[in-house]
Amino acid sequence: MEKVTVEGTVGSVEDYISLVGPELVEEVKELARPLKGARIILLNSTAVGGGVAEMFPGFIRLLHSLGIEVTWLVMPGNRQFFAVTKKIHNGLQGADISLTEAERSIYSRQNEITGKELAQYAADLYEIHDPQPAGVYPYLSDRPALWRCHIDSSTANPEFWEFIRERIEPYDRLIFSMQEFARKDLDSRKVVIIHPAIDPFSVKNRQMDQETAKRTIARYGINPNAPLMTQISRFDPWKDPVGVIEAYRLARRRHPDLQLVLLGAMADDDPEGPTILASLRQAVGNDQSVHILADTSPNDREVNAFQTLSRVIVQKSLREGFGLTVTEALWKGQPVVAGNVGGIRAQIRNGQNGFLVDTVEECAERVEYLLDNPDQQRELGRQARETVRQKFLMIRLVRDHLKLYRQLLGKQQLQPVMMTE
């Protein structure tokens, strides 16, 4: 079991006063007061790549500043196990596939190993993230435990939903990013809706000036003075990178100097990534205006530069648990052209701070609109940043979790359901 160390103190509760004002900060401090010294264990399946690993450092730093002990653990697993959990991920998002008995055994055995090891850590509360370690519950002590789902399970393949449902039902609370992701056969008294959030003090989300962004991007052989269309995400079919390429080619008919960047993280728990990456490179062929940049963990400074300098940010997902790359871009004043799915809908108000699209053609049209109307783009961008300031900064996520922790640790009367406002 890997223990991840989170360093640094920037992003403490007091740092948020300048962004959200003193009222929310005082509310968070008051909620945390009876929890000082509490020991929380976070368990997920990777320390790099994907939204969960992205959120944890800022989340942990903020809780540490409030006097709450948080330990981040990463479950062990070989390539065979992660191939099974990727299949479960796809099945929960609606793929027409099946699990073999051998695959079920691989999953159960690794969760048994992880659960028994996890039980050796002293904790007041366990917080288990996503399907990979969902089966550890039977091996934990009698401490409260919650399970957090970060994917869109609204159209889950019934076989896969039943497989996961059996494993998550015993948890004390079940957290989803959107109400429609929480299936009707769950105990509604356990269901909690909490939107993810970003750390505004991270290297990725701090303000970057245009000249610094240009110098950073130029290192990749990209013209920083020509318009740039960018999607940042895992190399995953659900992110529809092929659809992004098609939309780019349509938009380029009217904007021949347009460039496309697909910047992707190769997550440790996603064995499909290299295959998808190879197929994308084949689809692009010799187009010198399309740049596919792949790394296990893209440099946060580089991600910031692309999000800052791009004329258009897209996130053309076909399924999306939330889409933190959307949140990051909105925070930088970028109206995003994104798939009309899942958690993206919670962030984008169509035509007010970005655009929701259902087809390649719609995506291309909205890209062209933003390229043709820079004044309107700036106004949409102003609204985009304000949306994140009000709803999707890390201090709000911590506030929601503190309320939940107080319920589970007996610090206040239990409530059946909590909704993120």
Cα–Cα dist 255/251, whole Å: 6
The CA distances from residue 192 to 43, 133, 187, 369, 420, in Å, are: 18, 19, 11, 38, 9
User: What residues does 336 pair with on adjacent strands?
Assistant: 313, 354
Q: In this predicted structure, what is the pLDDT of residue 418?
A: 47
Q: Which CATH architecture has domain 210-391?
A: 3-Layer(aba) Sandwich (3.40)
- The 10s digit of each residue's pLDDT in 282-331 is 888 889 999 999 865 568 999 999 999 999 999 999 999 999 999 999 99
CA 16, 47, 280, 299 torsion-angle sign:
positive
Residue closest to 77 by CA, chosen among 53, 43, 40:
43
CA-to-CA dists, residue 181 to 148, 321, 347, 359, angstroms: 12, 8, 16, 23
Phi first, then psi: what are they for 335, rounded to 5°?
Answer: -65, 130
Residue 123 has a pLDDT of 95
Mean pLDDT, rounded, for 39-52: 91
pLDDT of residue 270: 67
pTM greater than 0.85: yes
The 10s digit of each residue's pLDDT in 102-131 is 999 999 999 999 999 999 999 999 999 999
CATH topology of domain 2-199+393-408: Rossmann fold (3.40.50)
What is the distance between the alpha carbons of residues 317 and 310, in angstroms, rounded to a whole number? 19
* CA dist 259 → 225, 291, 329, 332, 344 (Å): 10, 8, 18, 20, 24
> Residue 35's CB: how many other CB atoms inside 10 A?
20
The answer to whether 172 touches 141, Cβ cutoff 8 Å, is no
Two domains, one topology: 2-199+393-408 and 210-391: yes
pLDDT at 416: 43
**Domain regions of the chain by residue span:** 2-199+393-408, 210-391
Length of the chain equals 421
